């Protein structure tokens, strides 16, 4: 039925139009074995312009659909990618050069015309295309005499995705594969072909693969586990359990986790045009945070060693505490930049809820600890001292009646053995 109606429409189109519209012209055709992506290519007969006419289609539930020419791999191919435009009823066609196994880069050098019949309707998107002087490009070409000309196809993950930009950032494919076409079957009167009439007798699908992109979720998991989970637990180990040694071990583990996550991040960064130059805020911020984190670990060990030798808190103690606060906060904040960069803006809500939960769990402990310290101070240094220090809950001066821990005058009043060594690291 559909074929019949298409045939009637096609013959009507031929009857009533003198220009090159969608027609039953000769074309080589491909339909992926999973039935999702279709492609038909017409090579105009005796054409001095070296144009190509083609149509391709795929499920509109996919964020994007693409077909590439000239290779069975991304490198050196000329790729045509389409996604729904902002109206959701038509498509944006983006010609791109493939440079390797990463997001192909949009090119202005390939002139494409989106032809009538292009649309998003009934769960499918279709692009009808005339591509000007499309037989060669830097790095590749189409040999119209080739009976096994290499092509490839891919579709993006399922996602509501619309853009009018020909250089829109996209996610990595959910499925990709390669095929060959017999281009001698494609030769005919120049026109956008009808995929239903294309000749697929000489077509061979070489490969097809589902692509699970695991690096980004693992990157996010390692980072959040480190910054929202393990690091705050390390703070509680010190503040609630008063175990500096376990605090150190815990935080060293958290840094290793974060380093593993950063390694994944560097790999992911090579995959997308938006990240390949490593200049996005999330990446720059992330590198700075990582440097701070390693510094924090070193300062932590140093100040602990000095404290164990002298039993006097040093400037390193204060630095360690403040870098710690800043670095954990920045690490979590950077997560809010990461999800939009991965085109997963909505996960920021999940992150917000997670951070809220962790704060909700930690708050009672910290409050308990704060009360306990007030109690300790009262018995240790009397009420006069309490008024001096206010709410300050800093272990390095909890036994010392002064705002400034670098001010050593009070040391005469408070002999070392009274400074409660188990608290000041």
Ligand X SMILES: *[C@@H]1O[C@H](CO)[C@@H](O)[C@H](O)[C@H]1NC(C)=O
Q: Which parts of this chain interact with ligand X (CB under 6 A)?
A: 89-90, 114-116, 118-119
73 binds, among ligand HEM, ligand X, none (CB under 5 to 8 A by kind): ligand HEM
Q: How far is the CB of 131 from ligand X (least distance, A)?
A: 14
76 binds, among ligand X, ligand HEM, none (CB under 5 to 8 A by kind): none
271 binds, among ligand HEM, ligand X, none (CB under 5 to 8 A by kind): ligand HEM
Q: How far is the CB of 201 from ligand X (least distance, A)?
A: 31
Nearer to ligand X by C-beta: 92 or 200? 92
Structure tokens at 58: 């795929």
Cα–Cα dist 191/94, whole Å: 20
Q: How far is the CB of 60 from ligand HEM (least distance, A)?
A: 17
Please check whether residue 125 is in contact with residue 90, taking contact to mean a CB–CB distance below 8 angstroms. Answer: no
Q: How far is the CB of 208 from ligand X (least distance, A)?
A: 29
Nearer to ligand HEM by C-beta: 73 or 189? 73
154 forms part of the interface with ligand HEM (CB under 6 A): yes
134 forms part of the interface with ligand HEM (CB under 6 A): no
Stated length of the chain: 425
Nearer to ligand X by C-beta: 89 or 136? 89
82 forms part of the interface with ligand HEM (CB under 6 A): no
176 binds, among ligand X, ligand HEM, none (CB under 5 to 8 A by kind): ligand HEM
Angle between helices 215-224 and 244-269 (to 10 degrees): 160
Q: How far is the CB of 109 from ligand HEM (least distance, A)?
A: 17
Please check whether residue 164 is in contact with residue 79, taking contact to mean a CB–CB distance below 8 angstroms. Answer: no
Q: How far is the CB of 289 from ligand HEM (least distance, A)?
A: 25
Site track 167-206 with ligand HEM (rule: CB under 6 A), x = hit: ---x-xx--x-x----------------------------
Instruction: Spell out the alpha helix ranges (H) of 107-243.
Output: 215-224, 231-239
CA atoms within 13 A on the CB side of 250: 18
Cα–Cα dist 412/250, whole Å: 36
The contacts of residue 293 (CB under 8 Å, 6+ apart) are 255, 258, 327, 331
Please check whether residue 26 is in contact with residue 42, taking contact to mean a CB–CB distance below 8 angstroms. Answer: yes
Q: Specify the stretch interacting with ligand HEM by CB under 6 A; choose among 2-10, 150-158, 261-269, 358-366.
A: 150-158
Nearer to ligand X by C-beta: 128 or 419? 128
Q: Which among 121, 371, 61 is positioned nearest to 240, based on CA atoms?
A: 371
Please check whether residue 230 is in contact with residue 250, taking contact to mean a CB–CB distance below 8 angstroms. Answer: yes
Cα–Cα dist 278/270, whole Å: 8
192 binds, among ligand HEM, ligand X, none (CB under 5 to 8 A by kind): none
Interface with ligand HEM (CB under 6 A), residue from 40, 181, 262, 271: 271
- Dump the DSSP string for 2-33: HHHHHHHHHHHHHHH-SS--SB----EEEE-T
- Dump the DSSP string for 387-423: HHHTT---GGGTTS--S-TT--GGGGTS-GGGS-GGG
Please check whether residue 114 is in contact with residue 91, taking contact to mean a CB–CB distance below 8 angstroms. Answer: yes
The residue of the chain with the least Cβ separation from ligand HEM equals 103
Nearer to ligand HEM by C-beta: 74 or 84? 74
68 binds, among ligand HEM, ligand X, none (CB under 5 to 8 A by kind): ligand HEM
Nearer to ligand HEM by C-beta: 25 or 128? 128
Sign of the Cα torsion 265, 269, 272, 277 reads: positive
Query: What is the largest distance, in Å, between two alpha-carbon atoms of the chain?
Result: 107
Nearer to ligand X by C-beta: 127 or 262? 127
As a dihedral over the C-alpha atoms of residue 153, residue 158, residue 162, residue 165, rounded to 10 degrees, the angle is: -40
Nearer to ligand HEM by C-beta: 94 or 373? 94
Site for ligand HEM in 51-70 (CB under 6 A): 66-68
CA angle at 342 for the pair 214 and 257, rounded to the nearest 5°: 55
Cα–Cα dist 77/142, whole Å: 10
152 forms part of the interface with ligand HEM (CB under 6 A): yes
Q: Which residues bind ligand HEM (CB under 6 A)?
A: 66-68, 73-74, 79, 81, 101-104, 152-154, 170, 172-173, 176, 178, 271-272
């Amino acid at each position: 039925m559909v074929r019949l109606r298409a045939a009637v429409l096609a013959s009507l189109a031929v009857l009533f139009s003198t220009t090159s519209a969608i027609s039953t012209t000769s074309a080589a055709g491909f339909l992926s074995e999973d039935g999702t992506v279709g492609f038909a290519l017409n090579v105009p007969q005796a054409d001095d312009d070296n144009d190509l006419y083609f149509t391709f289609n795929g499920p509109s539930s996919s964020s994007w659909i693409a077909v590439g020419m000239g290779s069975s791999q991304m490198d050196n191919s000329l790729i045509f990618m389409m996604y729904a435009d902002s109206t959701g009823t038509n498509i944006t066609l983006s010609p791109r050069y493939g440079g390797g196994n990463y997001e192909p880069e949009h090119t202005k050098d390939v002139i494409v015309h989106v032809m009538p019949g292009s649309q998003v309707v009934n769960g499918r998107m279709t692009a009808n295309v005339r591509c000007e002087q499309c037989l060669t490009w830097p790095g590749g070409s189409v040999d119209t005499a080739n009976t096994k000309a290499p092509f490839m196809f891919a579709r993006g993950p399922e996602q509501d995705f619309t853009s009018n930009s020909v250089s829109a950032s996209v996610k990595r494919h959910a499925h990709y594969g390669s095929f060959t076409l017999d281009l001698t079957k494609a030769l005919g009167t120049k026109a956008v072909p009808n995929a239903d009439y294309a000749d697929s007798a000489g077509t061979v699908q070489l490969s097809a693969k589902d692509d699970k992109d695991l690096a980004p979720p693992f990157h996010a998991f390692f980072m959040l586990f480190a910054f929202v989970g393990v690091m705050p637990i390390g703070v509680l180990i010190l503040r609630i359990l008063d175990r500096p040694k376990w605090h150190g071990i815990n935080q060293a583990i958290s840094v290793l986790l974060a380093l593993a996550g950063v390694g994944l991040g560097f790999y992911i960064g090579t995959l997308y045009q938006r990240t390949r130059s490593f200049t996005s805020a999330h990446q720059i911020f992330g590198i700075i945070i990582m440097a701070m984190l390693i510094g924090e670990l070193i300062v932590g060990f140093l100040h602990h060693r000095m404290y164990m030798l002298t039993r006097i808190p040093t400037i390193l103690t204060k630095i360690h505490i403040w870098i710690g606060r800043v670095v954990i906060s920045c690490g979590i904040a950077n997560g809010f930049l990461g999800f939009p960069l991965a085109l997963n803006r909505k996960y920021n809500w999940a992150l917000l809820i997670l951070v809220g939960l962790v704060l909700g769990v930690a708050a009672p402990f910290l409050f308990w600890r704060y009360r306990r310290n007030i109690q300790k101070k009262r018995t240790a240094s009397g009420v006069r001292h309490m008024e001096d220090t206010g709410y300050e809950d800093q272990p390095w001066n909890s036994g010392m009646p002064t705002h400034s821990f670098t001010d050593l005058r009070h040391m005469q009043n408070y002999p070392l053995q009274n400074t409660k060594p188990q608290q000041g690291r």
